[in-house]
Amino acid sequence: MNTKGKMMITCEESTFLTSKKQQDKLSTSEHLQLFFHLIMCKYCRRFANQISLITKAIFRMRQKMEQQSTHICLTDEQKERIQKALKDQQAN
């Protein structure tokens, strides 16, 4: 999307820049264009808030999953049952 040289951007361009901002750093001109558009447009401001909430929720969920996975450990009995089930399955 080409937003260079424009002072006021459209809502479509605003949503593009909002999404881009979640992945990349915006240039100074893009940041200013988005900033001024969000001041004027409550719908794009709402979209930007929703995207931010979703991104934070995914980040927290990923952190929680990483913390939990480091603490999960099978007992020797569970490992033996899995190995036995695999051998039984291969025999059939």
Each residue's pLDDT tens digit, 40-54: 999 999 999 999 999
pTM of the model: 0.64
Digit-coded pLDDT (tens) for 32-84: 999 999 999 999 999 999 999 999 999 999 888 887 766 667 889 999 999 99
Q: Is 62 helix (H, G, I), strand (E, B) or coil?
A: helix
Q: Is 20 helix (H, G, I), strand (E, B) or coil?
A: helix
Q: Which residue do the tokens 């051998």 mark?
A: 87
At 64, the amino acid letter reads: K
**Rounded CA gap, 91 and 85, in Å?**
10
CB 44 within 8 A of CB 14: yes
